[in-house]
Copies of this chain bind each other. A is one copy, B any other.
């Protein structure tokens, strides 16, 4: 039986930054919470758009031609194939949605690549 998800409660169980945790599923998409702080890595998802909704704090989605600044209650969908790099000067809490199996680091790989884990 699926149950509701309290996003703040889930986030309280997360320590590491840029380590998304799966909290639910919508068809073939994973719903993830992540704490962001610092700068992530420039990457591209060639096969999917990438959904960010800021729940708390401020997140900058750096694109190659502009920055998108998000506060609480603001969302941005990075189109597939568009290179981007999230960063947050202070800790930000974010809801992410992308297809199951999508690596958080896209085509870039590297040490920040997370294993998919449910909490």
Q: Which residues of A contact B (CB under 8 A)?
A: 2-8, 24-27, 29, 31, 48-49, 51, 53, 55, 68-70, 73-77, 79-80, 95, 97, 99
Contact = CB atoms under 8 A, between A and B. Distances in A.
Contacts of A24: 75, 77
Contacts of A75: 4-5, 7, 24, 31
Q: Is the interface of A mostly helix, strand, loop or mixed?
A: strand
Nearest to A71: B6
A31 to B, nearest CB: 7
Given A26-B49, A49-B27, A4 B73 contact: no
A56 to B, nearest CB: 9
Given A7-B75, A25-B77, 14 more contacts: A2-B77, A2-B79, A3-B76, A4-B76, A5-B76, A7-B73, A24-B77, A27-B48, A27-B80, A27-B99, A29-B29, A31-B77, A55-B73, A97-B97
Given A31-B75, A55-B73, A97 B7 contact: no
